[in-house]
Each structure stands twice: as structure tokens, then as C-alpha cells.
Homo-oligomer: A and B are copies of this chain.
Amino acid sequence: MYSLELTKPDGRRLILYSREAINPDIVAPSPFTEPLNAYPHLRWHPLRGEWVTYAAYRQGRTFLPPPEYNPLGITTDPSHPTEVPAGNWDVAVFDNRFPSLGPIGDPPSLIVPSAPAVGHCEVVVFTKDAKASLGALSLAHIELLMEVWAERTAVMARREDIAYVLPFENRGAEVGVTLHHPHGQIYAYPLVPPVPSRMQQEAQHYYEARGSGVLQDFIIAEREAGVRMLYEGEHAVAFVPVCARYPYEVWLAPTEPVESFVHLTPDQRLDLARALKTVLLKYDGLWQRPFPYLMAWYQAPVDGKAHPEAHLHAEFYPPYRTRERLKYLAGTEIAAGFFAMDALPEEKARELQQVEVTVE
């Protein structure tokens, strides 16, 4: 993998990735000229025992964009610069202009503990092709993206002040995404956030009690049961979990425990890319239209310790419960954290199993 690291006019970083050497004359554009001028801060939530981050940015655009302006598309008109340049790159990563975590300033003094919102927020442009989607990319391109996720994780892991790295994608207007150019984000947190922290704790207890991984054993059981599988390769699997909390929830993982993208072997990565493409094509094939979802990749905390209990995997949370109806998170889910499902995972798995796809 080749990469080229550049600095935008407003001081943010842009890194281009490709399988071939990237033209070193490429210049990084930015829709913004002023440096970032706001500093997010954390406030302690004493009832829940967790931190919340606050970032109040003003838009600060220096021009009114034309209607078809796509900030994630390559810059074609220098008077309307976008976030990425033309050139021979395949995946681009740049610092988020409106980071929830990152630039460090003095936090306000409040009735609860406050702190600078240490961390880092990046945008990952999956491809130059604004009309593509993650699932439409070639296996080789998806593998490259996984290497980029690995590199970004490794870079963040070297920082003393980062504890957890979460690559994710929000896709579709139904989940609030207004930019349809294929892209995701990476959040690097100064702490292990509540959900991964809880999962880490459960995995740790399980590992100590049994000497094996909770997801590792779960995958073995899902394969034996057989009824909810969507992909079974030599090194990776995808399935609707027996305990799905969203109707079309899917999990995707290497069959063996791997701590993070950094630790994947090339064979594992290729099969994981195949599993990912299979799921995405099934999703889009189900109703013959782009299928919205949140895709999150859980990795081990980056605390320098070994994490034999951790197991890299993706969880997909799609917002639909049927072709026409959204699943709204309501009282019991949001207020109690207790999920109620009116569809059985076995039925939803069958719907996705019946979507035939060709991955090559």
C-alpha cells in the first residue's frame, strides 16, 4: 500500500492511499481557509457515569457552493475546492472539519467535571466514485480499505492519549446522512466508550472462565446451528445473530479471534472483504434499492496490552424492520436499554439468505 500525506490550506491532514505510487505533486484542497477555531470539551454525566462531548462549530464556509457541489468528490473547479483532490488514489482520509474530539482547548468550569475532548475524528472517503457504494467496490478495493483502517488504527494506537479506535459508516438518509458519496468515519477516543467497555468486560469474564473467546465460541455455535448464516468462508463468517436487537442486524467476523484490523493476515483480510461484500450486496439486493445501515467495527482497546479475549468484528444496525417500516428506538430501548423485537432473527436471516449475490 502506498500513501501520501498532505496538509490542507486550513491546516488539516489529508492522506491518500493506493496500490500504486501516488503522484507526489498532488496538492490538498479544502472548502475552508480559516484554521479550526473551536475546541470540543467533555462533561461528566454523574447519573450515567459517562462522558459526553460538546462541540459547537459555526459553519465558516467561505463561499456558497453550487447545488451539485459534493464536498467528498474530487475538486474539479478550483474556485469551489472540495475535501479531496483529483489524482491516482483509491481511498482518502482527512481530519474532520467539525470534530467531536480533537483540537485541545481549556474546558469551561462547570458544576460537573469537565475536560478537553482529547481524541481524533477522521473522514474516510471509500472511493473517488460518487455513484459507487461500499458493496459495489471490487474485493481488492475493499481489502485496501481494510488496510487503511488497520493503518489508521495503528497510527492512533501509538498515541498515549488514545484508548479506543472505532471505524464506522452511517449510510442513508434514514440514519441522517445527507452526503451520499461513499464514506465512513473513524473516531479515536481518549477512553474506552460505554458500549465497547461493556463488551470488553463481558469478553474478559468469559475468557477467564473458559479460556476461549465469547465471539469465537458464538461463531462455532452459529455455524453448527446453521440457520442464520449468510456467509461461511475459510477465514470469515457473516450471520444474523440469534440475539439480534435490530431486525436486519448482521455480524461479520474472522472465524478466529483477531484483536484488530492491524492483526489480520492477508488471507483473513481477503475473506473478510468477501464476507463484507456479500452482506452489502444482499442488503442492496433485498429490496432492489440502497439499504441504509450503521456499520461499526469493534476492535480491542489500544492500551498496549495483549487482548486475547478481543475479537474484531462488524455489527450492522439497519433502521428498517420491513420494506416500508422503520424500527424506531423508543421507550424501552432508549430509556431502559432493553431491546424489544417484533421479528425473529431466523425469519430475517431467511430473507437475506434468499438474496442471491455473486462476489468475485
Interface residues of A (CB under 8 A from B): 43-57, 98, 100, 110-112, 164, 166, 168-170, 175-176, 185, 187, 189, 193-196, 198-199, 201-203, 206, 214-215, 218, 221-222, 224-225, 242-245, 294, 296, 298, 315, 317, 326, 328-332, 334-345, 347
The distance in angstroms between the C-alpha atoms of A242 and B43, with both chains bound, is: 8
The distance in angstroms between the C-alpha atoms of A335 and B222, with both chains bound, is: 22
Closest to A298 in B: B335
Closest to A199 in B: B47
The distance in angstroms between the C-alpha atoms of A339 and B336, with both chains bound, is: 16
The distance in angstroms between the C-alpha atoms of A337 and B170, with both chains bound, is: 15
Within 8 Å CB of A332, what residues of B? 100, 166, 168, 187, 193
B337 x A193 contact (CB < 8 A): yes
Q: 19 A-B residue contacts at CB 8 Å? A: A43-B242, A46-B218, A47-B203, A47-B214, A48-B198, A48-B202, A49-B198, A52-B244, A52-B340, A53-B338, A54-B342, A55-B340, A56-B342, A166-B331, A166-B332, A170-B328, A195-B337, A298-B335, A315-B335
The distance in angstroms between the C-alpha atoms of A79 and B187, with both chains bound, is: 57
Shortest beta-carbon distance, A32 to chain B, in Å?
17
Closest to A45 in B: B243
B342 x A196 contact (CB < 8 A): no
A331 x B168 contact (CB < 8 A): yes
The distance in angstroms between the C-alpha atoms of A330 and B187, with both chains bound, is: 12
Within 8 Å CB of A298, what residues of B? 335
A330 x B175 contact (CB < 8 A): yes
The distance in angstroms between the C-alpha atoms of A222 and B98, with both chains bound, is: 29
User: A294 contacts which of B112, B206, B334 (Cβ < 8 Å)?
Assistant: B334
Within 8 Å CB of A185, what residues of B? 331
B242 x A111 contact (CB < 8 A): yes
Within 8 Å CB of A100, what residues of B? 332, 340
Within 8 Å CB of A317, what residues of B? 334-335
A221 x B341 contact (CB < 8 A): no
Main secondary structure of the interface of A (DSSP, over half): mixed
B166 x A336 contact (CB < 8 A): yes
A195 x B335 contact (CB < 8 A): yes
Within 8 Å CB of A344, what residues of B? 54, 56
Given contacts A111-B221, A214-B47, contact A193 B338 (CB under 8 A): yes
Given contacts A49-B202, A189-B336, A199-B47, contact A56 B343 (CB under 8 A): yes
Closest to A186 in B: B331
Within 8 Å CB of A168, what residues of B? 331-332, 335
Within 8 Å CB of A328, what residues of B? 170, 175-176
User: A331 contacts which of B43, B46, B170 (Cβ < 8 Å)?
Assistant: B170
Closest 8 CB pairs of A and B: A176-B328, A296-B335, A194-B337, A168-B331, A100-B340, A193-B338, A193-B336, A195-B337
User: A245 contacts which of B45, B55, B315, B326 (Cβ < 8 Å)?
Assistant: B45
B47 x A218 contact (CB < 8 A): yes
The distance in angstroms between the C-alpha atoms of A271 and B336, with both chains bound, is: 26
User: A55 contacts which of B51, B196, B326, B342 (Cβ < 8 Å)?
Assistant: B342
The distance in angstroms between the C-alpha atoms of A317 and B330, with both chains bound, is: 10
